[in-house]
């Protein structure tokens, strides 16, 4: 997501901001960068204390000028409460279920259909283990995450945008416009690792909930 040049530039800006607070246009991209390093790559470049310092600087500015708060600001991930009642929303394109394959013949036939559909024999495949999570659709408009929905019945699902914003590996904004894309839908699976599940249960015990 970030080139070597962008990483160097943002890291240099980070050091500058840790010495002297900056403005919204500096703090927001820096915080998004460090969220990506921590939650996606698992390769943080700043300490938790340093991240919190930058985050609080942003909170202070937004508290003083609330009219400048944007939907993609790192502070907008955390709401007062998560939605428990969801509105049903239609998918832009139906979210169909995947078919299983247990033999080579099925894969060969699928490969033939794929090549015929896009009218080419040159296809590269990337294979990886399939996570058993919850299917999610993310819609970005003008680079901003505007909606997240569950698969539901495939035609429509629950709008869980507020809840999905709590997942810090999901970017609140992305530069699709750099590629001429104004509206895009991203689909994937959300899941909780065993380590995160363990921490969550420990937190519940500490709170006296479990």
Contact between 4 and 24 under an 8 Å Cβ cutoff? The reply is: no
Contact between 140 and 187 under an 8 Å Cβ cutoff? The reply is: no
H/E element, 183: strand 183-190
Query: Rg (Cα) of the chain, in Å, rounded?
Result: 21
Contacts of 210 (CB under 8 A, 6+ apart): 201, 204
Instruction: Return d(Cα 192, Cα 201) in angstroms, integer.
Output: 12
Instruction: Return d(Cα 183, Cα 143) in angstroms, integer.
Output: 8
Instruction: Return d(Cα 65, Cα 129) in angstroms, integer.
Output: 46
Instruction: Return d(Cα 210, Cα 203) in angstroms, integer.
Output: 9
H/E element, 135: strand 134-141
Instruction: Return d(Cα 39, Cα 35) in angstroms, integer.
Output: 6
Alpha-carbon dihedral 54, 201, 171, 188, rounded to 10 degrees: 170
**Active site residue ranges:** 130
């Amino acid at each position: 997501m970030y080139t070597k040049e962008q990483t160097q530039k943002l890291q240099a800006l980070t050091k500058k901001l840790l010495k002297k607070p900056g403005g919204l246009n500096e703090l927001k991209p820096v915080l998004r960068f460090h969220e990506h390093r921590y939650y996606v790559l698992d390769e943080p470049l700043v300490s938790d204390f340093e991240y919190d310092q930058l985050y609080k600087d942003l909170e202070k500015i937004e508290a003083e000028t609330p009219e400048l708060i944007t939907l993609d600001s790192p502070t907008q991930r955390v709401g007062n409460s998560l939605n428990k009642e969801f509105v049903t929303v239609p998918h832009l394109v139906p979210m169909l279920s995947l078919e299983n394959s247990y033999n080579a013949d099925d894969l060969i036939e699928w490969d033939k259909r794929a090549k015929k559909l896009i009218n080419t024999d040159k296809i590269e495949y990337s294979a990886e283990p399939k996570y058993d999570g919850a299917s999610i659709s993310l819609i970005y408009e003008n680079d901003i995450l505007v909606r997240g929905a569950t698969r539901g019945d495939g035609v429509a699902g629950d709008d869980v945008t507020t809840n999905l914003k709590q997942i810090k590996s999901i970017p609140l904004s992305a530069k699709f416009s750099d590629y001429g894309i104004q509206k895009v839908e991203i689909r994937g699976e959300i899941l909780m690792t065993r380590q995160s599940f363990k921490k969550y249960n420990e937190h519940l015990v500490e709170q006296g909930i479990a």
